[in-house]
Amino acid sequence: MEVNCEKSRQKEDDGLGWGKKSIPVPSVQEMVRKDHQTVPERYIQEYENRPLTDALSSTSCQIPVIDFSLLTKRDETEQKKLDSACKEWGFFQIINHGVGEELIERMKDREAAVFDLPLEVKKKYAMGENDLQGYGQAFVVSEEQKLDWADLFFLMAYPPQYRNFNNWPLIVPSFKETVDEYSAEICRVSEEILANLSMLMRMKEDSLKELHKVMRIAMRMNYYPFCSKPELVLGISPHSDGGSITILLQDDYITGLQIRHQGQWVPVKPLPGAFVVNIGDALQMWSNGVYKSVEHRAITNARKARMSVAMFVMPDDDAEMGPVDTMVCDNGPALYQRVKYNDYMRSYLDRKLEGKITDSFKSQGQ
């Protein structure tokens, strides 16, 4: 008994064992394969949360597009565009990022091969006790809660020594090699974005990097099966991401991601070859609320499954998430308390994925 407790505690301290185990739920992909008509009650959202088309923003605005190659040259005009994208949208797409088209296609193809594995095989990689890594659905904390119309694989991707291969679908040829290459490229892109953001936050270029002494990147592969009644379900419930930034690879043609902008849900129309980048809660707090970690969700459609790969850049466990000094003087009093990333993540993961929790870390009187 004692030994087990010790073991699970040690696993928790190893990094990704935060939070409670998510309650196991059926594979949506399998459910749809067996019966593509029925939408079980557990997946039907309350009326106000349904992705009704008339509640959608009619705005034809697109999230800003940033030329990454100009950021590498510290181009001031492009940096200004980045600054206003992070303030007004919390989301942007990057082009000219230098990640090879062939590698991107290979990553998508290997992801498809992973979800294509028979259910019994995928189950071998299921999330374990007190662990988020592996195959399943995260954030299911009660038998009553509404479920997302999606299956996922959550893996610690980078740096390689942080991986737990027990949950890796190594049976898929060249999956590991592809993630090796892909995650190294995402690390390069992320470091560059963090360097530009550091400058925009009036800090030294490597200041944000210093909060990521180990650039850890978690990977979440999402699979949203088609749904016979897409107007009733959500692929992923509204949430903000908890880390520094997220780099999302989405389908080039199927629109599914929506972001909350000026009180409305705005679809993010894919720009083939581009990555979607968004600000996470850590960056919102470091920037004293100047940069926004914006709520987003994914919807499904009646015709085609959609897949995405989200790469979450995570600060060090002991990095403080409160406002940095340079963002406090000009931008009013410190809006947030100081909280270690690891403690923040425990609160983040210990609940149903729903909305934002940054407000519960506001300073007194804010």
What residue ranges bind Fe ion (CB under 5 A)?
Answer: 241
For ligand AKG, which is the closer residue by CB, 32 or 299? Answer: 299
CB atoms within 10 A of CB 169: 23
Backbone torsion region of residue 108, taken as left when φ is above 0, otherwise alpha when ψ lies between -120 and 50, otherwise beta: alpha
Nearest distance, CB of residue 126 and ligand AKG, angstroms: 18
Sheet with 236-239, strands from edge to edge, namely 236-239, 296-298, 257-261, 264-267
For ligand AKG, which is the closer residue by CB, 148 or 185? Answer: 148
Rounded to the nearest 10°, the torsion over CA 102, 107, 111, 113 is 40
For ligand AKG, which is the closer residue by CB, 200 or 249? Answer: 249
Nearest distance, CB of residue 241 and ligand AKG, angstroms: 5
Choose the one of Fe ion, ligand AKG, none that binds residue 93, judging by a C-beta under 5 to 8 angstroms depending on kind. none
For Fe ion, which is the closer residue by CB, 198 or 222? Answer: 222
Length of the chain: 366
Choose the one of Fe ion, ligand AKG, none that binds residue 313, judging by a C-beta under 5 to 8 angstroms depending on kind. none
What are the Cα distances from residue 310, in Å, to 35, 47, 89, 214, 277? 28, 28, 18, 19, 9
Q: Roughly how many angstroms between the first and final C-alpha of the chain, as a whole number?
A: 45
For ligand AKG, which is the closer residue by CB, 167 or 288? Answer: 167
Nearest distance, CB of residue 132 and Fe ion, angstroms: 14
Choose the one of ligand AKG, Fe ion, none that binds residue 261, judging by a C-beta under 5 to 8 angstroms depending on kind. none
For ligand AKG, which is the closer residue by CB, 86 or 236? Answer: 236
CB 252 within 8 A of CB 270: yes
Nearest distance, CB of residue 70 and ligand AKG, angstroms: 26
Choose the one of Fe ion, ligand AKG, none that binds residue 256, judging by a C-beta under 5 to 8 angstroms depending on kind. ligand AKG
Choose the one of ligand AKG, Fe ion, none that binds residue 220, judging by a C-beta under 5 to 8 angstroms depending on kind. ligand AKG
For Fe ion, which is the closer residue by CB, 185 or 241? Answer: 241
Structure tokens at 234: 């959500």
Whole-number Å distance between alpha carbons of 339 and 89: 25
For Fe ion, which is the closer residue by CB, 113 or 357? Answer: 357
Taking CB atoms, the residue at the shortest distance from Fe ion is 241
Nearest distance, CB of residue 306 and ligand AKG, angstroms: 7
Choose the one of ligand AKG, Fe ion, none that binds residue 167, judging by a C-beta under 5 to 8 angstroms depending on kind. none
Nearest distance, CB of residue 205 and ligand AKG, angstroms: 28
Choose the one of Fe ion, ligand AKG, none that binds residue 257, judging by a C-beta under 5 to 8 angstroms depending on kind. ligand AKG
Nearest distance, CB of residue 308 and ligand AKG, angstroms: 3
CA 79 to chain centre: 23
Q: Which residues bind ligand AKG (CB under 6 A)?
A: 220, 222, 236, 241, 248, 250, 256-257, 296, 298, 308, 310
Nearest distance, CB of residue 174 and Fe ion, angstroms: 27
For ligand AKG, which is the closer residue by CB, 256 or 322? Answer: 256
Nearest distance, CB of residue 80 and ligand AKG, angstroms: 27
